Amino acid sequence: MNSEAKLLRDALLYEEGHPRRTQHILKVYALAKLLGESEELPEEEREILQAAAILHDIPIKYCKEHYHGDACQENQQKEAPYLIKKFLMEAGYPPSFIPPVTVAVQRHHDYTHERDRVLQLLIEADIIVNGYEGGLEGEAAKASEALFQTELGRKMFENCRQACGRI
C-alpha cells in the first residue's frame, strides 16, 4: 500500500465512521485529485494537494474531544500541525511534505491571503463539496464564486448551483 492509500485509510479509521466527516474527506479528496490532474500539477504538488485534501478537516474530531465540542477555526489551526505531522509520518511521507500540507490545511478557510496552486485547488474542492452538502447559500455562495480561478472548478461550482438550486 502506498503512502497516500495509508493516509486515506488512517484518516477514515480515525473518524470512526462519522458519516459526514468520512464522506466529506472522500469527496474533497476525489475532487482535489481531479482538479490537480486537470491543472497538470507536477507530481509532488499533486501528492501534497491530495494529502492536504485527506487531512484538511482532521483537527475537527480532536478539537471536539479536547475543547468541549469547540472545533472553531482557531482551535483547528492550533492543533493541525501536530496531527498532520503524526498522520504523514505514520503513512510514510517524507518530512518535506509536513510544512506545505500544514499550511494548506491551516489556510483552506482563509480566503484573504495569497494562495499557491495547491491551496487554491484545495479551496475550490472544499467549496464545491460544501455546496453539494448544503453549506453555501445566498451571499456566502456569491462570495465563494469569486474565489474560483480554474476553469474546471468554475464549471463544477456552476453545476452545483444549478443542481442544488439554493446557491
- Tally of structural domains, the chain: 1
- CA 134 and chain centroid, separation: 17
Q: How many angstroms separate the CA atoms of 41 and 50, rounded?
A: 11
The CATH number of whichever domain residue 40 belongs to comes to 1.10.3210.10
pLDDT at 60: 96
Q: Is the pLDDT of residue 166 over 60?
A: no
88: nearest Cα among 98, 80, 78: 98
Cell 509532488 sits on residue: 44
Host domain of residue 130: 3-164
Q: How many angstroms separate the CA atoms of 15 and 67, rounded?
A: 17
Residues of the chain with pLDDT > 70, as a percent, come to 96
Instruction: State the pTM of this model.
Output: 0.95
CB 140 within 8 A of CB 134: no
